[in-house]
Amino acid sequence: MASSSKIKTRDQLIAEQSLWRKASAKVGFTSGVFDILHPGHVEYLEKAKSLCDVLVVGINSDHSVRSNKGDLRPINGEVERARTLAGLSAVDFVFIFPEKNNNQNIELLKPELYIKAGDYKAEKLSSASIVQSYGGRVEIVPFVEGKSSSSVIEKISAQALAGAFTASAPVTQKIGGKAAFIDRDGTINKEVEYLSNPAEFELIPGVIDGMKALTAAGYELVVVTNQPGIGLGYYSAGDLFRVNAKLLKAAGDAGVPIRKIYFCPHTKLDNCSCRKPSAGMLLRARDELGIDLSQSIMIGDTEADIGAGKAAGCKTVLVLSGKTKESHSIKTTPDEIIQSLANIKIVL
């Protein structure tokens, strides 16, 4: 059977039930996101297929994945995920469903076997009673330890971090001109220690207007942020990306173009060249984006931000909306001091 012909709608599969029953075929059903296919998925599906004659796999729609896992998932769209699964010999049919759970799938398909991956107890599953009501059975197949789409994504993030600030990646098109380098925590959003939960991300009032003013003045917006919580193990790169996604969405919805976000994952003890007050992130932006640092400004709420800007040869602006509440508390003198990014028009 051609793999593309394995992809059906749920209604099409319901219509085929009578054919399976006439052939006395034992139907097994399982489901999942199957975002980045890996050996753990393959092994699980092969085990599932060994339990039945016909294996039907439901794939969560993109919308349901975002509802469960956040705006950064899925990595691959529902059509691509269905097409990839359909290419596996263990899989007989694939369909996409919009619900967050399998209750409706089971009620409509009535598979002899409902196959679930993990360490669940069958009697604890909310859908177990539905399966049992028509004489079906729940089968639990244990997880393959250390294998998941999330772990693959974390590994990719870690490998990217390992070399993120040691060399500049090739850039096909440089934007040129001047940039406003903006610190994130305490400058754009309210200060939260080791921020890792997007739900705790909150813009400081007026910052969007300030960013619009910078754009109107001809500055490209580049965020540069120290994130030592990654190096300390308090949160992952994936957590950082989810918070950044909320920032980018808020800016995008307001029509504010953030060109790029650079971050340093290291701690003080790592003695790296990217952690502010070192100028590594700004120098990388210069090389990658073609930024003229002499015409650029660095805006932040700490002495480290001001130090990084001065080291890069930029004009510096201290905001008092984050960790620094009074300008006399820092030794490195900024070129300008404002209450918050909302007041940036004062110095433009």
Q: The CATH number of the domain where 332 resides is what?
A: 3.40.50.1000
Segment 116-143 mean pLDDT: 81
The residue with greater pLDDT, 99 or 1, is 99
Q: Which range (20-24, 105-109, 222-226, 273-277) has the least confidence?
A: 20-24
Instruction: Please report whether residue 160 resides in a domain.
Output: no
Measure the CA–CA gap between 318 and 321, rounded to whole angstroms: 9
Same domain, 30 and 143: yes
pLDDT for 243-286, tens place per residue? 998 999 899 999 999 999 999 999 998 889 999 999 999 999 99
Q: Which DSSP letter does residue 67 get?
A: H
Q: Is the pLDDT of residue 23 over 90?
A: no
Measure the CA–CA gap between 25 and 220, rounded to whole angstroms: 62
Q: How many CB atoms lie within 10 A of CB 216?
A: 10
Same domain, 117 and 231: no
Same domain, 66 and 38: yes
Which of 121, 148, 175 delimits the end of a domain? 148
The confidence score (pLDDT) of residue 2 equals 65
Instruction: Please report whether residue 207 resides in a domain.
Output: yes
Instruction: Please report whether residue 161 resides in a domain.
Output: no
Sheet of 336-338, strand order: 258-264, 219-226, 178-182, 297-300, 315-319, 336-338
The confidence score (pLDDT) of residue 307 equals 96
Q: Could you identify the residue written with the tokens 């700490």?
A: 302
Same domain, 188 and 311: yes
Same domain, 132 and 173: no
Same domain, 203 and 322: yes
Q: Which range (99-108, 277-286, 319-328) has the least confidence?
A: 319-328
What is the Rg, in whole angstroms, of the alpha carbon atoms belonging to the chain?
A: 26
Q: Which range (67-76, 126-135, 152-161, 284-293) has the least confidence?
A: 152-161
For residue 84, what are the domain limits?
3-148
The confidence score (pLDDT) of residue 151 equals 60
The confidence score (pLDDT) of residue 47 equals 94
Same domain, 173 and 143: no
Decide if 57 contacts 109 (C-beta within 8 A): no
Measure the CA–CA gap between 123 and 250, rounded to whole angstroms: 43
Mean pLDDT of the chain: 87
Instruction: Please report whether residue 158 resides in a domain.
Output: no
Which of 115, 148, 181 delimits the end of a domain? 148
Same domain, 16 and 90: yes
Measure the CA–CA gap between 348 and 274, rounded to whole angstroms: 27
Segment 65-90 mean pLDDT: 86
DSSP codes joined into one string, 170-225: P-S----SEEEEE-SBTTTB---TT---GGG--BPTTHHHHHHHHHHTTEEEEEEE
Cis before residue 170, ω within 30 degrees of 0?
Answer: no
Measure the CA–CA gap between 227 and 91, rounded to whole angstroms: 43
The confidence score (pLDDT) of residue 36 equals 82
% of the chain residues with pLDDT over 90: 62
Same domain, 258 and 287: yes
Instruction: Please report whether residue 155 resides in a domain.
Output: no
Decide if 94 contacts 78 (C-beta within 8 A): no
Q: Is the pLDDT of residue 157 over 80?
A: no
Q: Which range (18-32, 159-173, 199-213, 223-237) has the least confidence?
A: 159-173
Q: The CATH number of the domain where 21 resides is what?
A: 3.40.50.620
As for how many domains the chain has, the answer is 2
pTM, entire model: 0.57
Q: Could you identify the residue written with the tokens 């994936």?
A: 238
Q: Name the range with the highest mean pLDDT among 13-17, 23-27, 278-282.
A: 278-282
| C-alpha dihedral (103, 107, 108, 114), degrees to nearest 10 | 70
Same domain, 112 and 181: no
Same domain, 214 and 324: yes
Instruction: Please report whether residue 302 resides in a domain.
Output: yes
Instruction: Please report whether residue 156 resides in a domain.
Output: no
Q: How many CB atoms lie within 10 A of CB 72?
A: 15
Q: Is the pLDDT of residue 161 over 60?
A: no
Instruction: Please report whether residue 162 resides in a domain.
Output: no
The confidence score (pLDDT) of residue 152 equals 60
Same domain, 59 and 174: no
Which of 91, 115, 148 delimits the end of a domain? 148
The confidence score (pLDDT) of residue 81 equals 93
Measure the CA–CA gap between 90 and 53, rounded to whole angstroms: 10
